[in-house]
Structure 1
Amino acid sequence: MDAANRSQQHQATPSFAELFTPKLITVLREGYGRTKFQADLVAGLTVAIVAQFHSRLLRGALA
């Protein structure tokens, strides 16, 4: 590793405050907005529905 790479890595070291900032704050600062939230909400609901369906299928097969 050369000196330029080492200096870039040293500058990229986060501060104490950056290390202990809650992830929610970090994500909101990076631009997590309404459209991404809606996409995540739909994905989460889809997973919940599929998991519920799968659970009911297993209960029926085991009963």
Structure 2
Amino acid sequence: MSEVIEKNTFEQKIVEAQKFLDRLIDPEITLSDSVDVYKKGMKELEIAQKLLDEAKLEFKELTH
């Protein structure tokens, strides 16, 4: 069985976070589900921030 490795990109993480935000806007979401969705969305944004920071560092290193 081969393992699929997901390549995380900044853009992918932003799209995923947007999907979680769309779910939070749903008036039918329960409090329990909204907490879970919020946590997942924040995790996606944390990963996106890390990817952005890494890109900034790489750019900075290339320009100096």
The TM-score with structure 1 as length reference comes to 0.53
Query: Which protein, 1 or 2, shows the higher relative CO under an 8 Å CA cutoff with sep ≥ 6?
Result: 2
Aligned pairs (5 A) from 1:14-53: 27=25, 29-31=27-29, 33-53=34-54
Residue in structure 2 matched with residue 7 of structure 1 by the alignment: none
Q: Aligned-pair RMSD on alpha carbons? A: 2.2
In our comparison, the structure showing a higher alpha carbon Rg is: 1
Q: C-alpha displacement at 1:29, in angstroms?
A: 1.4
Q: C-alpha displacement at 1:30, in angstroms?
A: 3.1
Provide structure 2 residue ranges, at least 5 long, that are not aligned to the other structure.
1-23
The alignment partner of 1:29 has SS state of coil
Deviates more, 1:31-40 or 1:41-50: 31-40
Mapped to 2, the partners of 1:59 and 1:48 lie a distance apart of 16
Identity of aligned residues (%): 3
Q: Which runs of 4+ in 1 moved over 2 A?
A: none
